Amino acid sequence: MELISRLFSATWLLLFSLQCEFICSLPQLSTIDLNPIQQETCPVANEELISTLNGQLRCCKKCPVGEGMLQLCTNTTQTVCRPCQEGSEFSLEASATAKCMQCKQCQELHPFARFRKHCTPTSDAVCECVAGYFFIEVHSTCQSCTKCPPGYGAEKPCGWNEDSICSPCPEGTWSSTESATEKCLTCKRCKPGQIEMRSCTATQNTLCCPLHNPNCDDNYEDDEFDDPKTFQSVGHFSDGSFPQQMAYGDDYPMITIYCSLLGLVILTLLIYVFYKLWQQKLSMEDAKSIEAGVFHPAFTGIKTTGGKPKSSRLTVSVKDTNDKEHLLGESQQYSYAPQKSIPDHLLTELSQGLAVENHWKQVGTKLGFTEESLQKFEKPKISEDSGDAISAAKRMLTSWYSSRSSTDSSPLTSLLVVLESTSGTNELARRLKEYLKPSSAVTSTNSSQTSNNQ
């Protein structure tokens, strides 16, 4: 047994030494025998020197691009070629030994992969990825593109087979979105007719608003300023710069129109206020004149403006009076001859008669006094004593007569008409009528003389 083991070891060592000698002799044999073969070429360009099936060297025909080797050449036959199948096989170069290769199937490589270029008999398919991904040829897979954050732009956008390269936005540019393809945008410059409401930064653009809308936002579109029809310069210099005077388009003149309308409204309001104040002043003057002495509505012959008489003649219209023709006649006119005051004895008699049952208030109302004016003629505390009524009647008659005497040639005649139209004062009217008889006769005589002279 030990002998067999030694014999086996000796045999193995012998075989190992023979193998080493054979291997060491291979480079020398290759240098001597193969170099002459490698240096040989075929005389025809479309042939290739190959080793045939039986081991001999021979120039065999190459299969052209788009075809593959179906059967190798022999000593007696040429290479057999076949066309590559459309859409599934291709051949990139002419060869006497290369077969058609299988086309690349993009969908099998990655779910997001797709054909960029379909396979043809002369070229393999080219794959790309959906938007937001790029294709890595080495690994035959898709990878998401790097998105540049706000303030950064894609110096090199993400391509179909390469990732994006981001860089900070330099001064004068900006970017407000995350994008793998967009570069930094140039900051906008405000045009004439616009005002800069916000400066440009790395993350936001300049905000330019029109003069007529300074509170605009980022959604405002200034297309009207870009339209040459609505934004035209009055002129320009030879270097293309704009002069100071510009035509700002259709919206700009509206500012002038709005300001003009506002000015007209304010001016109209001021004129209206001054007019109302002036009318109020005239009304106050007329009110003072009327309060000093207001005549009966029947005697409307005198019109006053600003408290001054406009006419010195009075036309008296008598209503509800049986003796109006006897006293005044139809539309009788009196000449301007004012008296100073009512005689004392007549004033006392009239006051006493009007004090009975407060007839002076009825007469005062017909003479034109208001309720407030009549209350002023009374004392603070009115009693049933007739003495207080007599004093009030005196004050009323005195106030009325003093205001009427300047515009009425015969105030007592007007008072007579009122007394005759008031119930309860007939006796007082009769006494006043008797008192006025001499003056009426004088008036009639003067009228007759005037008619004769004419």
pLDDT, one tens digit per residue, over 202-257 is 999 999 999 888 788 877 765 544 444 444 443 444 444 444 434 444 455 678 88
Indicate the CATH number for domain 40-102: 2.10.50.10
What's the CA gap between 400 and 395, in Å, rounded?
Answer: 8
Nearest to 347 by CA among 428, 430, 258, 453: 428
Q: What is the pLDDT of residues 8-32, one digit of tens each?
A: 666 655 655 555 454 444 444 333 3
Going residue by residue through the chain, which has 454 residues, state the pLDDT in tens, using 9 for 90 and above: 555 556 566 665 565 555 545 444 444 433 334 334 444 688 888 899 888 777 788 899 999 999 999 999 988 889 999 999 999 999 999 999 999 999 999 989 999 999 999 999 999 999 999 999 999 988 889 999 999 999 999 999 999 999 999 999 999 999 999 999 999 999 999 999 888 989 999 999 999 999 888 788 877 765 544 444 444 443 444 444 444 434 444 455 678 888 899 999 999 999 999 999 998 888 777 666 554 444 444 333 333 334 444 333 333 333 443 443 333 333 333 333 445 578 888 888 888 888 888 888 889 898 888 888 888 888 654 444 445 888 888 898 888 888 877 777 788 888 888 888 888 888 888 888 888 876 544 444 444 444 444 4
Nearest to 363 by CA among 420, 301, 280: 420
Give the H/E segment covering residue 142.
Answer: strand 141-144
Nearest to 15 by CA among 7, 5, 4: 7
Each domain of the chain, given as residue ranges in start order, spans: 40-102, 106-144, 152-186, 293-444
Nearest to 406 by CA among 328, 323, 308: 308
Do residues 252 and 245 make contact, with C-beta atoms less than 8 angstroms apart? no
What's the CA gap between 286 and 194, in Å, rounded?
Answer: 59
**Terminal CA-to-CA distance of the chain, rounded, Å?**
196
Give the predicted TM-score (pTM) of the model: 0.38
Nearest to 422 by CA among 321, 328, 346, 337: 321
Q: Which two tokens stand for residue 28?
A: 């020398």
Cα separations in angstroms, 200 against 149, 166, 172, 176:
17, 20, 7, 11
What's the CA gap between 199 and 184, in Å, rounded?
Answer: 16
